[in-house]
Amino acid sequence: MIQKAQFVISNTNPSKCPNPDRAEVAFIGRSNVGKSSLINALTGKKELAKTSQKPGKTQLINHFMIDDRWYLVDLPGYGFAKVNLKVKQGWESMISTYLTKRENLCGVFVLIDSRLEPQKIDIEFLVWCGTEGVPVVLVFTKADKQSKTKTDQNVKKFLKKMEEVFEEAPEYFVTSSETGYGKDELVKFIEELVKEYESGEII
């Protein structure tokens, strides 16, 4: 259970992130996947991460301090945002540098829209993470927007795609920011990652 969450810093330069002296988990996903809404639901703070109807709102690496103990990081979305190519390449360079060089990063939560069939852009991003050794966990969002049967079907299809690429599909959670579905399980999992990091089990 998260008791306290506060904004620390936003920047475009991974080298200017806070000192890597505590566990850190990051959230990333395709533009408009519901990332800010999920972060706000997990922390219990409605305005912590800025939500927007317009894809591509998050253009910075945003650090939040959780319970004075670990960092939660909101990363820019990938794909679909209407920005010029130069800006897009800058984002990509910033994200890839952060994900591969941040030494205290103990989990990357990749958000997937549960309403959709598997999307090429998500698969490509996850393949890149696998190639680079970035530790990923899947978080399916917007589970309240359609029937449980439909959600289950789409999740199953996505995991099947993952199994084609990896030896086994990554760990996953199904969530809804609106109803809070899956929130407790996800927070518990993150807290376990933080504990492992603090005990020195994650290198």
Condensed to tens digits (0 to 9), the pLDDT of residues 126-179 reads 999 999 999 999 999 999 999 999 999 999 999 999 999 888 889 999 999 999
In angstroms and rounded to an integer, the radius of gyration of the C-alpha atoms of the chain is 16
Sequence-distant (6+) residues with CB within 8 A of 17 are 9, 11, 61, 63, 98, 102
More confident residue, 50 or 118: 118
Rounded to whole angstroms, how far apart are CA atoms 187 and 70? 12
Across 189-199, average pLDDT: 96
Residues in a beta bridge with 61: 11
Across 31-56, average pLDDT: 81
Model pTM score: 0.91
pLDDT at 168: 84
pLDDT at 127: 93
pLDDT at 54: 53
- Going by their DSSP bridges, the two strands 70-74 and 61-66 should be labelled as antiparallel
pLDDT at 170: 92
pLDDT at 197: 95
Across 169-191, average pLDDT: 96
Rounded to whole angstroms, how far apart are CA atoms 107 and 27? 9
**What are the extents of the domains in the chain?**
5-193
Place of tokens 């670990």: 70
Determine the residue type at 148. Answer: K
Question: How high is the mean pLDDT of the chain?
Answer: 89
CATH no. for 5-193: 3.40.50.300
Nearest one of 67, 60, 77, 65 to 10, comparing CA atoms: 60
DSSP string, 62-106: EEEEETTTEEEEEPPPBSS----HHHHHHHHHHHHHHHHH-TTEE
pLDDT tier at 200 (50, 70, 90 boundaries)? confident
More confident residue, 86 or 200: 200
Task: Strand 172-174: give its sheet, edge to edge.
Answer: 5-11, 61-66, 70-74, 24-29, 105-113, 136-141, 172-174
